[in-house]
Amino acid sequence: MNPPLVSFVVPCYKLSHFLAECVDSIFSQSYDDIEVIIIDDQSPDNTAEVSESILSSHSGRTVSYIVNRENLGNIRTYNRGIKLAQGTYVWILSPDDRLRSRNIVEDYVGLMESDRTIGYTFCPGHVIDNDRDMGIYRRSQYCKKDTVLDGQQLVVDIIYNNFELLSPSVMIRKKCYEQITFFPEDMPHRGDAYVWSLIAMQYKVGYFVEAMVDYRIHSNSMMSTLARENFLRTVEDDIAVPWRVKAEAEKRGLPNIEKHCWGAIVKIYSLALLRVSNRGYVYRLPVKEFEASLSRFEANPIVRFRIRARVLSAFLLSIPRRSAAKLWRSVWPSVGSAQTKRMMARQ
């Protein structure tokens, strides 16, 4: 028996009440050469019972239920699922998300089978706030027509955070994971952006304009929990993406991407020092954390000085001129008033 062409990995932790709806959206597809791998990451709810019911109700389909021996966390569970997948294509779908269109898998497979230089495909999505459909998520819209994208331009838009690429909309060739990168275990918040960027450096990317997935926002989602319990971790991941992508661009001899990474690094630092928000939570990066991050990613003190100066300039440009110097001194008192005045004079 030939293996299925598409493997859905459904990692489960405390989301059993959404699981059946998620799997139903997969098995309702017009395309049926699919397997579903449900991975229970030692979830304390009734994921086991719900999974057994799914296996029973879909007995004629290729579906398996696997339990991690210990809680691995989301990233290691993703990577385990990818390695277990039999398909040519892998789709990671959280139980709280779902496929909106019955034709999305058929559309994706048709495109990627016709062009083996496409590494992954994505589309916009609707936001589901608890159970209320809030309509198309505007930031998930990338362009105005179905197209095959230049991967390197997409990398630039990802690192600048110019739009939001929704993870439940992404189907990736398994060999891209195997040959380029799996999810980095130390980036629980933005590891997906890093993976998408590295693949897009070497492959084209497919895009469908129709919003064909539902992306659910609720208080127990992974992103909401991380923002609530450890906002610094999310900011650190946002900062790490352009730094790490820059390092890979240097290795691959991609100076245009490297140049844009420097701009994205300055942008995220200046925004984080001023204020960032996520899921209703607000955070301002302390100067000591900024300095620690700068030292962690850049060993050359001259380069650190230049980045610091560019961040200061961007910071001052982001707020009204009259309050800039006062606010800057309250955020970064180690910078003297003379240097602040010089920077202000350049604005």
Per cent of the chain over pLDDT 70 is 86
Question: Which domains are seen in the chain, by residue range?
Answer: 6-218 (3.90.550.10), 226-346 (no CATH)
CA distance 71 to 13: 9
pLDDT tops 90 at residue 56: yes
Collapsing DSSP states into helix, strand and coil, what is residue 334? coil
**Which residues, including other chains, have CB under 8 Å from residue 10's CB and lie 6 or more apart?**
19, 22, 23, 36, 37, 38, 39, 93, 94, 95
Per cent of the chain over pLDDT 90 is 74
Collapsing DSSP states into helix, strand and coil, what is residue 271? helix
CA distance 241 to 238: 6
Amino acid identity of 88?
T
Looking at per-residue pLDDT, the higher value among 78 and 271 belongs to: 78
pLDDT in tens, 93-137: 999 999 999 999 999 999 999 999 999 999 999 999 878 999 999
CA distance 297 to 48: 42
Extract the tokens encoding 293.
């991050």
How are beta strands 132-136 and 125-129 bridged, if at all?
antiparallel
Extract the tokens encoding 19.
């699981």
pLDDT at 345: 46
For 39-108, give the secondary structure using H, E and C.
EECCCCCCHHHHHHHHHHHCCCCEEEEEECCCCCHHHHHHHHHHHHCCCCEEEECCCCCEECCCCHHHHH
Q: What is the DSSP string of 105-126?
A: HHHHHHHHHH-TTEEEEE--EE
pLDDT at 318: 64
pLDDT at 221: 57
pTM listed for this prediction? 0.90
What is the longest distance spanned by two Cα atoms in the chain?
74
pLDDT at 347: 43
**Which residues, including other chains, have CB under 8 Å from residue 279's CB and lie 6 or more apart?**
217, 223, 224, 227, 228
Decide if 207 contacts 122 (C-beta within 8 A): yes
pLDDT at 188: 87
pLDDT in tens, 185-198: 999 889 999 999 99
Count Cβ atoms below 10 Å from residue 209 Cβ, excluding itself: 14
Strand partners, 214: 98, 126
pLDDT at 298: 96
Extract the tokens encoding 273.
């020092």
Looking at per-residue pLDDT, the higher value among 115 and 274 belongs to: 115
Mean pLDDT of the chain: 89
CA distance 272 to 257: 22
CA distance 194 to 197: 5
pLDDT tops 50 at residue 16: yes
How are beta strands 125-129 and 204-207 bridged, if at all?
unpaired
Q: What is the DSSP string of 143-191?
A: -SS-EEE-HHHHHHHHHTT-S---GGG-EEEHHHHHHT----TT-TTTH
pLDDT tops 70 at residue 255: yes
Per-residue confidence band for 21, with pLDDT thresholds at 50, 70 and 90 = very high
pLDDT tops 80 at residue 332: no
Extract the tokens encoding 82.
């990818």
